[in-house]
Amino acid sequence: MSTQRPKVSIGLPVYNGEKYLAQALDSVLAQTFQDFEVILSDNASTDGTAEICQRYAAKDARIRYNRNATNIGGGNNENLTVELSTGDYFCWLGHDDYYAPEFLEQCVAALDRDPQIVHCYAQIVAIDEQGNHKSVTSRNHAKSPHAYQRFITIACARDFCEESNGMTRASVLKRTLRVVNYTASDRTLLAEISLHGRFHDVPLPLFFKRFHEGNVYIDWRARMAWYDPNMGGRIVFPFWMQFFDYFRRIYRSPLSLGEKIMCTLAMTKWKLLYAKNLAKDLAYGLYMGLHSPEWRKKKYEASRNWG
């Protein structure tokens, strides 16, 4: 096994992903760019995931398999793949998604070509449970030379934030707060990354995002259990958590004070856009507070569809 550091690290966190995991791994092994490592982090799966991970790790030394003793939460498991990575560039791949063969090659070329680009992604092909193509989406987020414009464009985007599965300079990603335990913190992370530089979109359909019943949002608050398995009957305020987290990420960034103030002022747009959600957080928290923790736990579990 080579001791040379790979160019690209692919973090593949998984929990009970036996249905699609092999296709995701096959798409990585079929890449035209081959200087990579894969960090498979199994979050204490109870299905056949471990056997699939062990099989692929045994046949290719670039695949490293880690299994958590207990479920540490989806966000924490994603962060763990970053901590275990050694490459210059990093990208996450969901166990139910996959790449076209040229994905890594195209993203590496863009990052190598321009040091001002910190994150690169491709056109997104939405697929259903059977793999049927539903749509192709192009994004032009975070291309502005101004940090506050990049930041607020991402923060206020009304999409599924698939760009978070693009390729990031590891030196930038490891300076961020990464994923925090609240719903949609992948968007907050992407906004923080944009404070370090511009994004680039490859105008080719190279990333395949699968939408199925196990990853569609049913309830914003019940979704918190994916981030924290110990959520239980807690009262949560995900939009308020995100709101304050944006400011925390702004003021720990490498921007000048003037640029930080511009980002802070730009957050007025976010607050207006999500005013109803912030109010709903408070109203729903009050409603949940009128009931016992046991009742709240059952309420969350009834609308929780994520593993």
184-225: pLDDT as tens digits: 999 999 999 999 999 999 999 999 999 988 787 778 888 888
Q: How much is the pTM?
A: 0.95
Compute φ and ψ for 115, nearest 5 degrees: -65, -15
Dist. CA 303–CA 76, nearest whole Å = 22
Q: How confident is the model at residue 3, as a pLDDT? A: 62
Within-domain flag for 133: no
Within-domain flag for 180: no
Would you say residue 305 has pLDDT above 70? no
Cβ-proximal residues to 25 (8 Å cutoff; 6+ apart), any chain:
12, 38, 52, 56, 63
Within-domain flag for 307: no
**Burial letters 272-296, b for 16+ CB under 10 A, else e:** eebeeebeebeebeeebeeeeeeeb
Within-domain flag for 78: yes
Within-domain flag for 210: no
Percent of the chain predicted with pLDDT > 90: 83
What average pLDDT does the chain have? Answer: 94
Within-domain flag for 195: no
34-89: pLDDT as tens digits: 999 999 999 999 999 999 999 999 999 999 999 999 999 999 999 999 999 999 99
In this structure, the strands spanning 8-14 and 36-42 are parallel
CA angle 20, 126, 167 (to 5 degrees): 80
Count structural domains, the chain. Answer: 2
* Boundary (domain end) residue, out of 98, 114, 131: 98
* Boundary (domain end) residue, out of 73, 98, 123: 98
Q: How confident is the model at residue 215, as a pLDDT? A: 81
Within-domain flag for 122: no
Whole-Å CA distances, 214 to 131, 161, 226: 15, 17, 11
Within-domain flag for 34: yes
Q: How confident is the model at residue 119, as a pLDDT? A: 97
Dist. CA 291–CA 127, nearest whole Å = 40
CA angle 200, 160, 142 (to 5 degrees): 25
Would you say residue 244 has pLDDT above 50? yes
Domain containing 60: what range? 1-98
Angle between helices 238-251 and 257-273 (to 10 degrees): 170
Q: Which of 7-21, 90-104, 151-165 has the lowest mean pLDDT?
A: 151-165
Question: DSSP code of 164?
Answer: G
